[in-house]
Amino acid sequence: MNKKQRHDALRYRAYRALENLYHNATITYPSVPDEMQDNFQSWLEMNCMDEIDHLNGGGAYGKDYRSTLMFVANGKFKSIAAARRYIAKGLRDKAEDQSKYWGGRAERITDFGTLYQYGRGGRTLAPNDLMKRYGSNDGVDREACADMNIGDLVKAIQTIEAFNKYVESWCNSIPEMWREYVSDCLDENACRSDT
């Protein structure tokens, strides 16, 4: 395979990753008794909003991890050089963590904009820079990565594929999370259908 073929294969993989954003947030619904449907809907909406807010807020490291490191360094080190080394190491650790684990790579999705739900029932979760926003052709912009250099394209592919895997895993875990919630509520006698 020559260089052009490898690059074409990468561009096709990016196209497929972008296509897979479509309906990536299709939820696996648990069996819920009729008297608990309202409670389930409230619980589901709250958890979806919390997860989207978590990702939009930068995930595990927050939106501005450098500022967090600087705040800690200012109170911890007298030397400016030591504080700079501490910050640099923290940022390297973050980058390594995010490149090593698919959950960490998924958190980089906000490099492509703010996450929103699209479509009926919000079944597509994607950052706004990867979506078309004109006419009746709203949807995933399958050409969003077309002009990227190969290095940026590889990072984009890793991020988008990891994000799709993360969203799919989260949506498939809804029945288990709901069972845990109901179990906890029953233990505390706090689960009510009128909430």
Read off the pLDDT of residues 32-47 as tens digits, 9 standing for 90 and up.
999 999 999 999 999 9
**1 against 161, higher pLDDT:** 161
Q: Report yes or no: 148 and 166 within 8 Å, Cβ to Cβ.
A: no
Token readout for 132 is 């078309």
Say what the pLDDT of residue 63 is. Answer: 77
Handedness of CA 144, 150, 151, 155 (dihedral sign): positive
Secondary structure class of 60 (helix, strand, coil): helix
The C-alpha atoms of residue 117 and residue 51 are separated, in whole angstroms, by 12
Handedness of CA 102, 105, 107, 110 (dihedral sign): negative
Runs of H (alpha helix) within the chain: 3-19, 37-56, 65-76, 80-100, 102-107, 150-172, 174-188
Residue 136 has pLDDT above 50, yes or no: no
Listed residue (6, 17, 18, 2) closest to 141, CA to CA: 18
How is the chain split into domains, by residue range?
3-58+114-188
Estimate to the nearest angstrom the gap between the alpha carbon of 148 and the chain centroid. 21
Q: Report yes or no: 162 and 173 within 8 Å, Cβ to Cβ.
A: no
Q: Count other C-beta atoms under 10 Å from residue 24's C-beta.
A: 19
Say what the pLDDT of residue 134 is. Answer: 58
- Say which residues have a Cβ less than 8 Å from residue 57's Cβ, sequence separation at least 6: 63
In the predicted model, what is the mean pLDDT of residues 68-94? 85
Token readout for 84 is 């700079």
In the predicted model, what is the mean pLDDT of residues 5-28? 93
Say what the pLDDT of residue 62 is. Answer: 77
The C-alpha atoms of residue 39 and residue 47 are separated, in whole angstroms, by 12
Secondary structure class of 146 (helix, strand, coil): coil
Read off the pLDDT of residues 143-191 as tens digits, 9 standing for 90 and up.
888 899 999 999 999 999 999 999 999 999 999 999 999 988 876 665 5
| Arithmetic mean of pLDDT over the chain | 86
- Say which residues have a Cβ less than 8 Å from residue 165's Cβ, sequence separation at least 6: 102, 106
In the predicted model, what is the mean pLDDT of residues 42-58? 93
